[in-house]
Structure 1
Amino acid sequence: MSDIPYGNALIIGAGFGISAALTRALRSAGLPVIIASRNPDRLAPLVSETGAVALQVDASDAGQVARLFKEAEARIGPPEIVIYNASSFVRGPIADLDPVQVEHAVSITALGAFHAIQQAARYMVPAGKGAVLLTGATAGIKGFARSAPFAMGKFALRGLAQSAARELAPQGIHVAHVIVDGSVRASGRADPSDRTLDPDAIAQCYIDLLRQHRSVWSWEIEVRPWVENF
C-alpha cells in the first residue's frame, strides 16, 4: 500500500523526462495517473508501459484546462495531486523577438499554471485536501541573456507558487515549487560525472514532497548537481 496521502494524479505538460519519471513513480505507488499534453499521441509508449491515461490539452487555454479537469474527474475522480510541468522556450536577442511568440511562451509557462491552480483549488478546497507541484527552473531565479521569455515565465511561476502556497496551505492544500537547477539527462542514461540530473531522482524528490506532514510542508525546494559550484 502506498504511503502517499493522495489517491490520484494529473500531470500537465507530460513528456519523456521528469513527467515520465513521475508517471512511473506514481503508478508504481498504485495511483491512477492522467498525463496531459498538446500531443497526447506521442505519449503512447508511456501509456503502454505504465497504464496511465493520456489526454489532450493546450495549457494556455483556460477553457481547455477546465475541460481537462472535468474529464480527469470522470476518469479517475477529483484530482488530488496536480503537477504542472508545461513550459515554452523562445530564445533570441530582445530586439529581435516576436512579441506574439513571447506572449504565447509566457502564457504556457506561467498563465497555464494559474489556470491549473485555479481549477485544482476549485476541487481541492471543498475537499480540504490536495497537492499542487510546479516545475521551475534556473531561469526562475536567474535570467540569462537571450532567454528573456523563459525567465519571464519562470519568475512568474515562482511568484504564483509562493502566493498560492500562502493562500491554500491553511485550507489543506500543499503547493510547492521545484527549482530544477541544471540539465536533465535522458531517462535511463548514465552520467558518471553527475553533471546532469537523473529524472528518476528528481521524481523521487516530488514523491518526498507529497509525503511531507503538513506541519513541515515545504513551499519550495531546489535540486542541482552536487558537483556544481554555486
Structure 2
Amino acid sequence: MTDIPYRNGLIIGAGPGISGSLTRLLRAAGIPVVVAARQVDRLAPLVEAGAVALPVDASDAGQVERLFAETEARIGAPEIVIYNASGRVRGPIAELDPAEVERAVAVSALGAFYTVQQAAKRMVPAGKGAILLTGATAGVKGFALSAPFAMGKFALRGLAQSAARELSPQGIHVAHVVVDGGVRAAHRPDPADRPDSTLDPDAVAQCYLDLLRQHRSAWSWEIEVRPWVEKF
C-alpha cells in the first residue's frame, strides 16, 4: 500500500540520476513505471528495478504521442508524468551553431510541451493526475556561454506556470522543480573538502514524492532544491 494517490507513472528523459532514484522509489511503493529515453540501453538498471523501458526522442511530437499510447497499452494511462529531458549546448553566442541551438531548445521546451499536452488529454477527462517538470538554475538566471540551456529552461518554467494555472482547477497537479546545483553521481562524487556540495539524487527524488503526496488544498506549483552549503 502507498499514500501516493496515483496508480502509475511515466518518466521521460530517464537516466541513472534523479530518474533512477525516482523509479526505484515509485517501484518500492508498488507503482508501475515506464521510463523513456533516446538510448534505451542506458535504462537497463531501471528495468532491473521493475520499470518498462521504451524509446523516445522527446523533441518529436509524433514519437511522444506514440510513447503515451504505448505506455497506456502497457500500464494504463499514466497518472504521474515526469519530464526530465533537456538539451544543452555551450559556447559564445556569436559562435553557436543555430541548428544545435534549435535542437537543444526543442528538447528542453518543445518536448515538455508535447508531454504536457499528451498528459492533459488523458488527465483532464479523468479529473486527476500529476505532471512534474524538472527545471534548473538556468531557468531562473541565465549563465554566460549557456544561452540555449537558459532559453529552454526559462520556457519550461513558463510552461509549468501556465499549465498549473490552467490544469490545477481541473484536478491536475502541475509542479516545476528547480534543481539548483549539480547532482551527485558515481563519476562525480563530492570533493573531500566539500562534502554535500552536490545534490543527492535520492534526496531530490524524495522531494518529488513529497509533491505527489500534497493535498490539493495546498499544492505547490514550484519548489527549489539545493545543497545546504550553497551560497545563493
Q: Same fold (TM over 0.5)?
A: yes
Counterpart Cα distance in 2 of 1:81 and 1:97: 36
Shift of residue 185 of structure 1? Answer: 0.2
Counterpart Cα distance in 2 of 1:159 and 1:175: 12
Report the TM-score when normalising by structure 1: 0.97
Specify the alignment match of 2:110 in structure 1: 111
1:37-56 to 2 correspondence within 5 Å? 37-48=37-48, 50-56=49-55
Shift of residue 204 of structure 1? Answer: 0.1
Q: Which amino acid aligns with 2:180?
A: D
Specify the alignment match of 1:145 in structure 2: 144
The percentage of aligned residue pairs carrying the same residue is 78
Residue 38 of structure 1 contacts residue 57 of structure 1 at CA under 8 Å; is this kept in 2? yes
Specify the alignment match of 1:218 in structure 2: 220
User: Which residue of 195, 207, 222 maps to 1:205?
Assistant: 207
Shift of residue 187 of structure 1? Answer: 5.7
Aligned pairs, how many?
A: 229
Counterpart Cα distance in 2 of 1:144 and 1:111: 21
Counterpart Cα distance in 2 of 1:201 and 1:45: 19
1:61-100 to 2 correspondence within 5 Å? 61-100=60-99
Q: Which amino acid aligns with 1:47?
A: V
Counterpart Cα distance in 2 of 1:16 and 1:31: 19
Shift of residue 51 of structure 1? Answer: 1.1
Counterpart Cα distance in 1 of 2:45 and 2:133: 24
Counterpart Cα distance in 1 of 2:196 and 2:57: 34
- What is the RMSD computed on CA atoms of the aligned residues? 1.2
Q: Which amino acid aligns with 2:146?
A: S
CA 1:150–1:190 in structure 2 vs 1: closer, same or farther (change >3 Å)? closer
Shift of residue 88 of structure 1? Answer: 1.0
Q: What SS does structure 2 have at the residue aligned with 1:35?
A: strand
**2:201 is the alignment partner of 1:167:** no
Q: What SS does structure 2 have at the residue aligned with 1:36?
A: strand
Residue 14 of structure 1 contacts residue 85 of structure 1 at CA under 8 Å; is this kept in 2? yes
Specify the alignment match of 2:131 in structure 1: 132
Q: What SS does structure 1 have at the residue aligned with 2:10?
A: strand
Counterpart Cα distance in 2 of 1:88 and 1:188: 21
Counterpart Cα distance in 1 of 2:51 and 2:211: 21
Unmatched 5+ residue regions in structure 1? none
CA 1:77–1:37 in structure 2 vs 1: closer, same or farther (change >3 Å)? same
Counterpart Cα distance in 2 of 1:80 and 1:170: 16
List per-residue Cα deviations over 1:138-163 (Å, max 9, x = no partner).
Answer: 00001000000000000000000000
Counterpart Cα distance in 1 of 2:99 and 2:188: 36
**2:59 is the alignment partner of 1:57:** no
Most deviating of 187-196 and 84-93: 187-196
Counterpart Cα distance in 1 of 2:146 and 2:102: 14
Unmatched 5+ residue regions in structure 2? none
Residue 187 of structure 1 contacts residue 200 of structure 1 at CA under 8 Å; is this kept in 2? no
Kindly report structure 1 stretches of 4+ aligned residues shifted beyond 6 Å: none
Counterpart Cα distance in 2 of 1:204 and 1:85: 15
Specify the alignment match of 1:229 in structure 2: 231
Report the TM-score when normalising by structure 2: 0.97
